[in-house]
Structure formats: structure tokens, C-alpha cells
Structure 1
Amino acid sequence: MVQANAIILYFIYLVFIMYIIFLNYSKTKRLKKMNETFLMIIHDIKNYSANIDAAGQFLLAKAYKENNSSMVKHLNIIANNIKEMNGLMESYSKSIKLAETTKENINEAEVVSLVNEAVKLCTFYARRKNITIEVDSPWSDRIVKLDKSKFIRILSNLIMNAVKYSDENGKVLISIYQDGNFINVSIEDNGKGMSENELRNVFKKYYRAEDSVDSNEINLGIGLYGSRKLARSMGGEILVESTEGKGSIFTLRIPIKASPMFSFLGIPIVLKKKDKSKPA
């Protein structure tokens, strides 16, 4: 009888331990998801911050030239606050992990307009290095179905990356074209390119390129990793080719028409209909 009671108590103890483990696992999973989303937001804020800083530096140079001491004072306050904000974001990001964002919000959109919108987000950052951003497209009003917010986030990350690793007075060329049932957007820069080791690791989480161009910039090492995750959540992909000393080409591939996405063992499955339309 005593032995039976001991076995029952032991069983209840095991069930209780398993229940506690389950609760902690569920809580940890929820917290991880929140942290991953937060880190994606931090990276996007970093891009906007870079543009604000570039615009401020442009105005600061003008204020110095015009000997406007009041404007110089206020612009320096802005610059210092941006620096503090960037440092705060970097400290918050150190212990946060990034994972795939899967929520979709698909609507019809004009692809060239979305590309131009992403370019505008990077204009001041490019101007600081006197880099020209050109868009080449066979269409002026090509309508596609996609998640506009994700599309712009991916492109702005890729464009910012191209500008960052381009030489001063260089050019970033964005080409839009159709490849079967996909819309391709290629971002080509004339920067230093990547070594074979960098190409193998460029999409890895937290990877930072060898000999980064600006050690003072925040570099969370998540831009390309996060962009590829977003692209895959849309049923697409990001491809890269690079020649060391000549530059790199990142190509975003997005399905022209996609049904709601399913997944099997974490692998996205997109059901597509044949698109008979051709570029004008």
C-alpha cells in the first residue's frame, strides 16, 4: 500500500513538473516572438535614423556656411540625440533574437511606385555619399498582388545596404523585370564587392561583413537575414552575386500572384496561377 501511494505521488510529481515546463516553454516562446518583432522594428528605425542624420548633416553644413550659429546649435542637438538614440537601440538589441515574420497583408499595388517609395527612404543617406540611385523598368503601371509594407521594408534594407558599401560618387542601379511567374527587383552597386567567405555568410544571423566600411555606424548584422526571412514569408527569395573589387547584385524575387501561403515543416508553400500578362 505504501509503495502504491509512493508511485502515485511520484506520478503526480512528474505530471506537475511537466506542466511547469510547458507553461515556461509557452511563456518563453511568446516572449521570443515579441523580441524578434522588436528587433525587426529596431533595424527599420536604424534605417530611418540614418536618413534623418544625413538630412541633418546636410542642413548643418549649410548652417555653418551661412554662419547661422542658432541653427548650428539646434542641429547639433538633433545630431547628439540621434547618436544617443542609436546607442540605446544597439544596447536593446544585443540579447534579442530574430525569426521569421509570417503575417501577410496582401493587396494590389503598382510595383514601380513601391520601388520609388523605397528609394525615397534612402535618398538623404545616398546624398551624403553623393551616390545616384537609378530605377530601370519596362513598365510604368505594373500591378501586382503583394504585402506592400514587407516589400518596401525589404527593398529599403537592400538599397541602404548597397549605398553603404558603395564608393562615394558611385551609382546604385535598380532593375525591375519579370522572370516567369516572378517579379524580380535587382539592386546593383559598384562597391567593393564580397569575398567567397562573405558570400557564404552574408545571410547568416548577426553576420557582419569583413572590414565594414564604417565602424561608427550601428550594424546589428540582421538586415540581410531579416530581409530574406521577410521575402520567404511572401513566397519569394533574395539572391546575391558579387565580384570582389567590382560590386554586388542583390535580387528580390516575389511571386506575381500568390494564394494564401501554407507551410509544411516550416517551409513556405505558395500556390500560384499562371500569369499571361506581358510587360508593355
Structure 2
Amino acid sequence: MIGNINCDIDIDSLEIKDVIDIKLLQKFQDNFAESMGIASITVDKSGNPVTTPSSYTSFCIDFVHSTTIGDNRCAECHRKGGEEAARTGKPYIYTCHAGLIDFAAPILIEGKQIGTILGGQVLTKSPEKSRYMQIAKEIDVDEDKLVESVEKIKILTEKNVAAAAEVLFIVANALSKIGYEELKLKMISKSLEIEVLKKDLLLEESNKYNQLKTQFFSTISHELKTPINIISSSLQLLEKLYKDSSFTFTAETFSKYSKVMKQNCHRLIRVINNVVDMNKIEVGFLSLHLKNNNIVKVIEDITLSIVEYARLKNINIVFDTEIEEKITAFDEEQFERIMLNLLSNSIKFTKPGGNIDVTICDKKEHIFISVKDTGDGIPQDMLEKIFNTFTQVDASFRRHAEGSGIGLSLVKSLVKMHEGEISVISQLGVGSQFTIKLPVKLIDSESNAHKDRDLNYHVENTKIEFSDIYFD
């Protein structure tokens, strides 16, 4: 299972401190240097020290490194020694510019160098006085004192130097390997945590989806079952009355039950249309038929078509516009659904004696369409959710207004398809205001001739969209 987790590490970007505890390395280096009498320091792959020097000789500290020339020469020796060690992948022993025996042991991760342990500052034979007097002249230090300090340097056999370099090499690389494996385990652990988190999120989303699906089927079942039951009951009553020889069947009786059945047929059409169109939008099959048209006139006609519904509910509707004409490209049929849905909601949740204001504001590049009511309002915690599919402010079947919870989600999708935006502000007990921000644009088309439609054009669609509003 772990093998399938992606724990790739960019070794080129690794530093010694990423895989080795520097404090532990320093302690080991100090103890080794003191016991063996061999100086040591650890540097990164750029040559910068990561530990402090251990058991450095006076010869190096007080004389060679005390001058710029000597310090630069030392740095160059260390660099070349480290490069050779990295090239061969094993300790490299060499004689430094000041005549001492040094070594470079590479610290490797999968064959790539991440640092170097430098050691030495020893001799394998007695120093030649004349050679060190010449070195003193070259680096500009006191000749006698330099010779005196070199004579105090420990003399080891070449075998002991090689063994010391090998020990440092083995231990440092063991530490780096352990640290690297720990780093991989940490990354695997982190990857596993992320995978678990992702799966938890997927599970949570799946549960939410299943809940929504369950809620959807419950709501749709109710929305379909209720009108079907009403239609079925009305038909049964009509049949019973028709067969009852003692009852005088009149046109008024037929009209009464016919009206009930027709309204509930409209409810069924509305629910089915919404579900089908939401599915079309989700899979990208619903397209707009844009035409250049006077949107002010269209919205005014739609608003006027529902005045009678509002009057029956004793609700006052006011249409107000800054402009009489604004030609822009939009799908009149879909925009009618947008407006009828918003107006239907306002009528559902506005009590008798309330007001609904439909206003249009022209902002040149955009047109703002607002539907404001004095209805029940929407809780603040629901404002971000009401445009989600199947969301209802009051989702219980005993709510005082019917609805599948699809309408506002469909409205938002249709507005977005028009490259517009819809927003809402609301306060419980005060009312709600939905605002559409629609870009003004024109398209090139031979079929863009403006058609004036009378109010009858909107009547049938209004009946469908308002079919779940009941009047006393």
C-alpha cells in the first residue's frame, strides 16, 4: 500500500540538515576528532560549513587561515578535494597547499552528494623545515613560528589516515541514509494523511450528495404525487357525479373540477421542465437562442402578465424603469422563466397587503434588473445556499408555499449562461431583493428583427410557473 504512495524527493534540493541531525553530527565529529587527533569539519555541497571545526591545529587556525592568501588556498584545496570525492563516491586523501595530509569524505544520497566531511591536518612523516619556511613566505607569516607549530602536528601512518577517513565516511553516510529513509517515511505519512483527508472529503461529499439525492427524490415524489392525486381525485368525483342520476351535471361543475385538474397538470409540467432543463444544463445540452431585443419591454410585459395573480393575493406590483428601451442580446423564452420564477417566489412569500417592486437601471455596459418584495425574508445562513439545487428555505412538506427547490438554481444557471450575475439581500420579516446584473451586448444575425409580443404570449407560461400558487 505504501509503495503506491507518491513520495518522490528532489535530491538535488536536499541539504544535510534535511536528513542529518546537525547536533548529533557535531557531537560525533567532536568525539572522533578528539580521540583520533584528527581535525574535522562538515560542509554542504557548496562548501559552506554546517558544523563548527573540531580539533583544528594551531598551524591551521593561527597561521594558514590567518592570512587571506592562506585562507583562499585552503578553500580551493577543500573544493577540489570535495569534487574528487563526489566524483569517485568514496573518501579522497590528498596533500593540501600547506603540506598537511587532508581528506574529503562525500555524504551521498542515492549517489548524489549533499555535503562533505573534511578532515586531516596531520602528517605521515616528519616535516621538512625548509618547505614550511617557504610556505610561510608565500602566505606572509612568521617563518620560525610556523615551523614551530608544524612540528607539533600529529604524525600518523597512511593506513591510519585512510582508516579514519573511511570511518567518517561510513558513519556520516549511515546517518544520512537513516535520515533520508525517515524523510521518506515522513513524506509517505504526510501523503497518507492527505490521501485519508481526500477520501474523508470525498466520503463527506458523497454523503452530502446522497442526502441531496434522497431529498431530491422525496421532494420530487411529493411534487409529482400531490398534483397526480388531486387530478385523480377530481376525475373520480366527476365520474361519480356523472353516474349519479340524482345529480344534475352542469357546466359550472365541470369547469370547477376542470380548472383544478388543469392547474395541477401545469404543476406537473413545471416540475418536469425544471428537472429536464437542470439536467440539460449540467451536461451542457441546453443552449440559448440569443436575439437582439428590447429587454425593458419584455420584462414589463412579463410583470404585467402576473398582475392579476398578485391582485388575487392582495399584493401590489409596481414596475419602474429608468429607460424605455434597451436593446441587447438575450434569450426571451429563458429570460421569461427567470423573471417568472423570481416573481412567483415573491408572490408565494409575500403576505396580503404587501408590495413587489420590479425595477430596471441602466448602467451603460450593464443593465440591473431587481425584484424586491416585502415578504417573509430569508435567514442569513441560507443566503449562500438558496441557489443550490434542491435547496428550500423551509424544506418540510408542511411549508406554506410549494416548490421543488430547483427554481432558483435554474435561475442562477440561466443568468450565468447569459454571462450575468444574480445576487440577493434579505432580512427576516422585512423582505428580499434579487438583483440580476446583465451585460449589454449585441450579436450579428439576420433573424434579429424585434418582435412585439402581446401579453397573451406570456399567459400560458405564467400559468405553468405560477401553478403551485393557490388562491383562496
Q: TM-score, normalised by structure 1?
A: 0.60
Q: Quote the offset at 1:71 in angstroms.
A: 5.5
CA 1:77/1:121 → structure 2, altered by over 3 Å: closer, same or farther? same
Aligned-partner Cα distance in 2 for 1:214–1:128: 23
Q: Quote the offset at 1:127 in angstroms.
A: 2.0
Q: Quote the offset at 1:102 in angstroms.
A: 4.2
Counterpart pick for 1:244 among 428, 436, 452: 428
> What corresponds to 1:198 in structure 2?
382
> What corresponds to 2:367 in structure 1?
183
CA 1:171/1:213 → structure 2, altered by over 3 Å: closer, same or farther? farther
Question: 1:128-277 to 2 correspondence within 5 Å?
Answer: 128-179=312-363, 181-210=365-394, 215=399, 218-257=402-441
Q: Quote the offset at 1:228 in angstroms.
A: 0.6
Alignment check: 8 A CA contact 2:275 2:406 kept? no
Structure 2 residues not aligned, in runs of 5+: 1-219, 228-248, 445-472
Q: Quote the offset at 1:160 in angstroms.
A: 1.1
Alignment check: 8 A CA contact 2:274 2:407 kept? no
Range moving further from structure 2, 180-189 or 206-215: 206-215
> What corresponds to 2:73 in structure 1?
none
Question: 1:14-29 to 2 correspondence within 5 Å?
Answer: none
Q: 1:104-163 CA deviation, whole Å, 9 max, x = no partner?
A: 222121122111222134233212211121111111122222222222211111111111
Identity, % of aligned positions: 23
Aligned pair count reads: 196
Counterpart pick for 1:126 among 288, 310, 328: 310
Q: Quote the offset at 1:210 in angstroms.
A: 2.1
When Rg is computed on C-alpha atoms for both structures, the one with the higher figure is 2
Q: TM-score, normalised by structure 2?
A: 0.37
Provide the alpha-carbon RMSD of the alignment.
3.4
Alignment check: 8 A CA contact 2:319 2:357 kept? yes
Aligned-partner Cα distance in 2 for 1:139–1:90: 32
Q: Quote the offset at 1:79 in angstroms.
A: 3.0
CA 1:257/1:93 → structure 2, altered by over 3 Å: closer, same or farther? closer
Alignment check: 8 A CA contact 1:198 1:210 kept? no
CA 1:93/1:74 → structure 2, altered by over 3 Å: closer, same or farther? same
Whose relative contact order is higher, 1 or 2, with alpha carbons under 8 Å and at least 6 apart? 1
Equivalent position amino acid for 2:288 in 1: E
Range moving further from structure 2, 151-160 or 95-104: 95-104
Alignment check: 8 A CA contact 2:379 2:427 kept? yes
Q: 1:74-95 CA deviation, whole Å, 9 max, x = no partner?
A: 3312233135526755886898
CA 1:87/1:245 → structure 2, altered by over 3 Å: closer, same or farther? closer
